[in-house]
A and B are shown apart, each in its own frame.
Chain A
Amino acid sequence: MVTQEHRIGEAPIIRNNLLLRAEKELSKKKYKRILEIIVITFFALIILAPIINIISTVIANIGEIRTRLFFDILLGDSQWVIMREALWDSFSIAFVAVAIDVAIGFPIAILLTRNEFPGKHFIDFLVDLPMAVPTSALGFSVMMFWGIMGITPGRTLIIFVHVAFTYPYIVRNLKLAIEKVDPLLEKAAMTLSASKMTVLRTISLPLIREGLIAGTILAFTRSLGETGATMICAGLVETAPILVVGLRKQLQLPTASFLSLVLILISLTLLIIVKLIARRNTATSKFWQIHFEWEKFFSKSIFTKGTKILAGLLMTLLVLIPSFYIFSEIRPVEIGVELFGADNKWAYLWSAVVNSFQIGFLVIFIDVIIAIPFALMLEREKWGRVNGILDTILDIPLIIPSAALGFAVFMFWGPAGINLAQPGLGMIIFTHLTFTFPYVVRPIAAQIKNIKIGHEEASATLGAAPLTTFRRITLPAIKNGVIAGMIAAFTRSLGETGATLIVMGADRTVPVLIVDWVEENAFYAAALASVIVILISALLLALTRVFMPKESQRL
């Protein structure tokens, strides 16, 4: 029997283990306070300040805005009419696009969760991809595809392109909701002599209603706020975000502020609706006797299968083929001519790629430093209401149109505001920090939620200072979330057009370059740029799927 004792006092400790000593010192409460202050300040400056600033700008200039919009000496109220038309266009387009999404998304979501078939994961991946691809590349691809079908830029084309990139939001949210429904509930209803359609109406639909509404609203706000693809497909139509970009170019700052604020307020209202729905947890359904016979009739497999096949065909036609059509437009010779022509497009493309990557990496680097402590505070601190408020504010940049957000950043950091940055790469970074931050925080927070508190407690009782515990236990446990968040943020940064257009100077990012080239009819070069970013996005999405915890793929 070993009865040898050891006491810490006599045992050979390495006294100058710098790392452990530093961790012990920095674990003290005062340093934690300092960190909290830094993180909250970052959050307030990066996300809240621009939005609050736009509100105060509008209030301060309300007289001028009124004159410009309604009583302009030369234009009368034509500015207001344009703005009203743009808002109406944005809304009606978003509404139609989302309606199409739901109609062809619902059967596909059921197919992808409840059925097994070869190639399912690949289809699943393809359906998600348009969400990750830069919208301007997607928009260009969609425009080229429908162009050969004879559809020219205009409202119809905008609707088609919006269907393509909002579709994944609907399918993904529906899938998450359907996965949560216990199939046994549906089976139980069937044993109680309910037909498939009756089960769908009385059991499944009420249970997934929240997922459906959340997905719908997300897709709606996304459509409402999109710039890049819309610019390519718009022709003469002006949606609200495009109008913001236009007003910014003409330096009509008060009017642009007003329109941005309108868009921000609409999005916030929708966000609040999502949050309220998320909080409700009961679902009820009414039984209308009258439906049963019809539902039984339509439950025949010819109808259920037929619906899925039809939805699959429509999805292929409206989403998949248009999104990736651009691959068939690659013409090496013509590309070569355009790229290495007199205006040296190759150099532009190269510097745009370098810019996009530089911005992306710098942004996720800053994001992740702040996001980890922020996610920990969000999940761990018991600040009562404050946590819920931070959580809601965190979603704001996801949901407001990026053009409006970009404009808000421009007004805050730029010459019209505190004048810390000029339009250009620096300001692009500020803007991208704003809307990528939630993408990094969300998956980390989801991972933190799943951490076993017991592991950290065990580590503490075994003598590890909190920072040592963080390094040895917490960080390895949330590693995947951190990686997934960084990839998601990078993808988002890489694909952004609207906000970048507003805050950029002479330097271009790839999505903006695509818009430029489409406008100057350099289609072959634009096709090459599109294919490059689509491939990069596909790679990033594949990586995300490896690392990302499913639940946090929500937005």
Chain B
Amino acid sequence: MPDIRLENIRKTFDEEKVVAVDEVNLEINDGDFVFLLGPSGCGKTTLLRMISGLIAPSRGRIIIDGKDVTEDPPWERGIAFVFQNFNIFPISVFENCTYALNVQGFTRDYIIEQGERALKIVGLDHRADEIPVGWGNGDLQRLGIARAICSGAKILIMDEPLGSLDPKISAEFRWELRRIIKDHHLTAIQVTHNQEEAMAIGDHIIIMRDGLLLQQDTPEQLYKYPHSLFVGNFLGGLNILEAYISHYEPPNQYSVKVRLGGPKYTLQSQIHKVKLDDNVILACRPEDIYLFHEGYDFERSQMNWEGIVISEGHITDKFLTGKERRYIVELDNGDPLQISKAEVFKYDFDVGDALMIGIFPEDLRIFPYPKNLAKEMDLQ
């Protein structure tokens, strides 16, 4: 099982005017299922195409299985590519599936054996003789995946393979895809626009923006400890509060005061070194905020609310997304917060209700105040 290593990969277009990928270093281990995520135009597809050899990097090295393949053409890299628009050839299903073995000169018996096996895996064995014209997107991509596995390549590169599929089909298909990849011990890289899909089935996620690799981590680490506001907001959304450091106790204990008379939190931060009086952003996930009716008795609660910091506010809007209820709350200092609660959440609040808003300081993350806050929070 091969690993993939990129060293200082850079790609520019239009005579250096457009930088698509900028000095990317990354390592993908044997058998990992890695997702590349990022806004449109962040360079993720370009990166994918460089790994597969469809385009050449302007600079840097690509190493697959310990071998420098930077100069190798795609047909000699031992990879298989699954496309968003499938690129199924206008020939029979079986010929499509066994194309790679055919063009590499395998024996006939072997081709038939492998082709039947691959088609069976994706459930298309009974349609082997059809010409896949007018097929639905789901079936076309099944064939695309069968064609890729049948090639015998140990690295699977997928550019939004489920992007053209109906959302419901795609949500089911993703588990099947993961199972196939794991069963065959493939190293897989997938570009997607769907954060949920990446969180659900990826072993690792790589976040890119403007050609730069921002963070590579497991889904859980990324979600809990994003290195930047952008990464945090990109994966699942963040509430942000403008604040400043009111007290600092080495090595990493900070007291942070929300502006305009907002609450004060004391917490530890490992990631960002900030100084006393620095402007910062405090961020937390919508599901990490708790709501209480006025006069809620914390003493008599069965839950352990120790350490929670309470501030006051009122509900300005609420809506139901299906599996969750969302509240828009305005703190007394004017800061808005989005809060999400599972739909089974016991209490309901109405617009205009005054209430207590509780946040555990350990759920908060401190980020240095960015140069351009709007850009940091822009997901496009």
Q: Mark B83-118, 1 if CB is under 8 A from A, else 0.
A: 101010110000000011001111101100010010
A7 contacts the other chain (CB 8 A): yes
Taking CB atoms and an 8 Å cut-off, the chain A residues in 449-467 that contact chain B are 452, 454-455, 457-466
Beta-carbon nearest neighbor of B103 in chain A: A464
- A454-B87, A458-B83 are contacts. A11–B103 as well, Cβ < 8 Å? no
Check if A6 is an interface residue, CB within 8 A of chain B. Answer: yes
By a CB distance below 8 angstroms, the chain B residues around A8 are 78, 104, 152
A63 interfacial by beta-carbon distance below 8 Å: no
| A13-B107, A20-B103 known; A462 vs B183 contact (CB < 8 Å) | no
Q: How far is the CA of A4 from the CA of B76 in the complex (A)?
A: 23
Minimum Cβ distance to chain A for residue B161 (Å): 13
| C-alpha gap A14/B105 in the complex (Å) | 6
Report the separation of the CA atoms of residues A43 and B185 in the bound assembly, to the nearest whole angstrom: 52
Q: How far is the CB of B90 from chain A (nearest CB, A)?
A: 8
**Nearest B-chain residue to A465, judged by Cβ:** B75
Residues of A with C-beta under 8 A to B78: 8, 463
A521 at the interface (CB under 8 A from B): no
Closest CB of chain B to A462's CB: distance in Å? 4
Interface residues of A in 424-476 (CB under 8 A from B): 452, 454-455, 457-466, 468-469, 472-473, 476
Report the Cα distance A15→B54, complex, angstroms: 26
Let me know if B120 and A2 touch, CB within 8 A.
yes
Q: A282 within 8 Å of B by Cβ? A: no
The answer to whether residues A7 and B183 also contact, given A454-B85, A454-B87 and a CB cut-off of 8 A, is no
What are the residues of chain A within 8 A of B103 when measuring CB–CB?
Answer: 20, 459, 462-465, 468-469, 472
- Across the interface, which residues of B come within 8 angstroms of A2, CB to CB? 117, 120-121, 183
Q: Which of B77, B83, B105, B152 contacts A17 (CB 8 A)?
A: B105
Q: Is the CB of A457 within 8 A of B120?
A: no
| Contact of B117 with A13 in the complex, beta carbons under 8 Å | no
User: What residues of A have a CB within 8 angstroms of the CB of B53 in the complex?
Assistant: 460-461
B80 touches A454 (CB 8 A): no
Q: Which of B77, B83, B105, B153 contacts A20 (CB 8 A)?
A: B105
CB within 8 Å: A-B pair count: 104
Contact B107 A458 (CB under 8 A): no
Q: Is B74 an interface residue (CB 8 A)?
A: yes
Is residue B355 contacting chain A, with contact meaning CB distance below 8 A? no
> Does A13 lie within 8 Å of B85, measured CB to CB?
no
- Contact for A457 among B81, B110, B152, CB less than 8 A: B81
Contact status A13-B104, CB under 8 Å? yes
A466 to B117, CA, bound (A): 28
Distance (whole angstroms) from the CB of B104 to the closest CB of chain A: 5
Interface assignment of B46: CB less than 8 Å from any CB of chain A? no
A residues in contact with B235, CB < 8 Å: none
Given the known A-B contacts A5-B184, A460-B75, A461-B81, are A20 and B104 also in contact in the complex, defined by CB atoms under 8 Å?
yes
Encoded as 1 (CB less than 8 Å from any A CB) or 0, chain B from 149 to 161 comes to 0011110010000
Give me the interface of B with A, judged by CB distance under 8 Å: 52-54, 73-81, 83, 85, 87, 89-90, 99-100, 103-107, 109-110, 114, 117, 120-121, 147-148, 151-154, 157, 183-185
Chain A contacts to B: CB under 8 angstroms: 1-8, 11-15, 17, 20-21, 452, 454-455, 457-466, 468-469, 472-473, 476-477
Q: Apart from A460-B75, A463-B75, list 15 A-B contacts with CB within 8 A.
A: A2-B120, A8-B152, A11-B106, A13-B106, A454-B83, A454-B85, A454-B87, A457-B81, A458-B81, A459-B99, A461-B52, A464-B75, A464-B100, A468-B103, A472-B99
Q: List 13 A-B contacts (CB under 8 A).
A: A8-B104, A13-B105, A454-B87, A455-B87, A457-B83, A459-B89, A460-B75, A461-B81, A462-B80, A463-B76, A463-B100, A476-B90, A477-B90
